């Protein structure tokens, strides 16, 4: 190993992909048991490694020196070998600070709530203090280590202005969970979530609904990786490096989610997009049919629309948990606001529009099998589609032409 990451479970790590932007040398993921950590470090067969849960404290006794930042936080996430010595530092604090700056969160003179009391919360505490916060409180279920409970936070600290989540609440595969009700904190200006999988947790989406600046942990992960690579190599990267990698990785990881009327061409355009981009396609109507074991008209006839919508929500949760796909949704997928939230966790919603006279009723669409039903549906749903969409594309002469426009605008 030249460069890499050690931890206990690394299946969902994005670190190798980020470091591929930072150098040509291989970057490997190596899962270790607690008993293997000391031997791995003492063999020293690496130039630089990152360290993740649960070894950020465990590695410290085996190092020849650590930075002042790492000492104050009590955790090391980056180790470099220099002149035969192992030197450790902590770049998580740098990453969190860059994340807060990225969303425009000025902590100077502000009241900050940090959710959680684990290792990342100590990083957040250090960062908030370095950024001159007026008051910093950690929040936990049990009020351990001097923290306040979630109930106390809502009752006595509703004037908090900055919220930083360092708990795993909302992490894959429980992306629908949210650690707090944001209505309890009416003065919030910014929310930063250390979780990067999904790209946008429910905490982040709920904050954005309220007009609060909010971002997930991918920016933090990217920024700390750039700083770690600089520590490994003894060199500085241009200031714009973090932003460029973050944008590229977001485009790569986000799902392209096609929404719109029945008959607007979502499945056909999805197939064309797949040919252009190489991304896999998830067709939610097809997934529903597979789950139910019967065609959609039969689901409506035998069990009713409510059962169909419940199946649809379940399918959307499953497919939205994955990254880098094209998702072709059914015409009614965004009727439930919860479905929109689900799709936005890892995706960007693209409204595919087609002229009203070109929307053709078909027998396999129970709610749009006549011209009258189709027109009524279009008038009812158009405002909902527009509210949900983050990009709108008018269907072109061919699916390929439409797909090329989507891909071009996706890269902007």
Please give the Cα distance from 4 to 58 (Å, whole number): 17
Choose, from 30, 56, 314, 373, the residue flagged as catalytic.
56
What pTM does this model have? 0.92
Residue 56 bears catalytic tag: yes
31 Cβ contact partners less than 8 Å away, ≥ 6 residues apart: 6, 7, 8, 9, 10
Which residue in 75, 109, 113 sits closest to 95, CA to CA?
75
Burial of residue 412, with CB atoms counted within 10 A of its CB: 0-12 exposed, 13-18 middle, 19 or more buried: exposed
Give me the sign of the Cα torsion angle 322, 328, 332, 335: positive
Per residue in 168-200, is it b (16+ CB within 10 Å) or e — as a string? bbbbbeebeebbbebeebeebbbbbbbbbbbbb
Which pLDDT score is estimated for 333? 96
Closest Cα to residue 72, out of 138, 139, 117, 123?
123
The pLDDT of residue 139 is: 97
Phi/psi at 4 (nearest 5 deg)?
180, -170
Can you give the pLDDT at residue 373? 86
Residue 171 confidence (pLDDT): 92
pLDDT along the chain (412 residues), means of 10: 94 93 94 96 92 94 96 96 94 98 97 94 96 97 88 96 96 90 98 96 96 98 97 93 96 97 92 97 96 94 94 96 96 95 97 86 78 87 95 92 96 82
The predicted-structure confidence for 216-274, as pLDDT tens digits, reads as follows: 999 999 999 999 999 999 999 999 999 999 999 999 999 999 999 988 899 999 999 99
Identify the pLDDT of residue 31. 96
- pLDDT score at 80: 96
Q: Centre a 10 Å sphere on the Cβ of residue 401 and count the other Cβ atoms it contains.
A: 12
Question: Structure tokens of 359?
Answer: 């929307």
Structural domains in the chain plus CATH codes: 3-90 (3.40.50.10860), 94-216 (3.40.50.720), 254-410 (3.40.50.300)
Q: Residue 90: what pLDDT?
A: 97
Cβ contact 8:33 at 8 Å: yes
pLDDT for 14:
93
Separation CA 317–CA 181 (nearest Å): 21
pLDDT number for residue 88: 97
* Predicted pLDDT of residue 237: 95
- Residue 8: partners with Cβ closer than 8 Å, 6 or more residues away: 31, 32, 33, 34, 53, 54, 55
């Amino acid at each position: 190993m030249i460069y890499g990451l050690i931890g206990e479970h690394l299946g969902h790590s994005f670190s190798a992909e980020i470091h591929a932007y930072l150098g040509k040398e291989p970057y490997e993921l190596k899962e270790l048991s607690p008993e293997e950590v000391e031997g791995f470090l003492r063999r020293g067969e690496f130039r630089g490694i990152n360290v993740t849960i649960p070894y950020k404290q465990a590695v410290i006794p085996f190092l020849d020196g650590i930075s002042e930042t790492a000492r104050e936080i009590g955790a090391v996430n980056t180790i470099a070998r220099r002149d035969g010595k192992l030197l450790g530092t902590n770049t998580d604090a740098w990453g969190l600070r860059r994340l807060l700056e990225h969303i425009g969160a000025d902590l100077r003179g502000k009241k900050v709530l940090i959710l959680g009391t684990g290792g990342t919360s100590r990083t957040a505490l250090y960062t908030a203090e370095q950024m001159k916060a007026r008051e910093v409180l950690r929040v936990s279920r049990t009020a351990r280590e001097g923290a306040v409970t979630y109930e106390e936070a809502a009752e006595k600290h509703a004037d908090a202005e900055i919220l930083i989540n360092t708990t795993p609440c909302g992490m894959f595969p429980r992306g629908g969970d949210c650690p707090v009700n944001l209505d309890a904190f009416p003065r919030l200006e910014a929310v930063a979530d250390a979780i990067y999988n999904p790209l946008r947790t429910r905490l982040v989406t709920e904050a954005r609904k309220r007009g609060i600046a909010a971002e997930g942990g991918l920016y933090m992960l990217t920024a700390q990786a750039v700083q770690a690579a600089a520590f490994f190599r003894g060199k500085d990267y241009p200031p714009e490096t973090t932003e460029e990698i973050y944008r590229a990785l977001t485009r790569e990881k986000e799902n392209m989610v096609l929404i719109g009327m029945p008959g607007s061409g979502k499945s056909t355009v999805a197939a064309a997009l797949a040919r252009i981009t190489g991304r896999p396609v998830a067709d939610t109507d097809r997934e529903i049919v597979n789950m139910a074991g019967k065609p959609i008209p039969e689901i409506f006839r035998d069990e009713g629309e409510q059962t169909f919508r419940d199946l649809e929500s379940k399918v959307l949760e499953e497919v939205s948990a994955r990254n880098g796909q094209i998702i072709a949704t059914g015409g009614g997928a965004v009727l439930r606001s919860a479905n929109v939230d689900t799709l936005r966790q890892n995706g960007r919603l693209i409204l595919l529009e087609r002229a009203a006279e070109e929307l053709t009723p078909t027998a396999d669409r129970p709610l749009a099998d006549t011209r009258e039903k189709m027109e009524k549906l279009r008038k009812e749903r158009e405002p909902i589609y527009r509210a949900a969409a983050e990009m709108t594309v008018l269907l072109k002469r061919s699916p390929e032409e439409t797909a090329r426009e989507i891909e071009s605008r996706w890269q902007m």
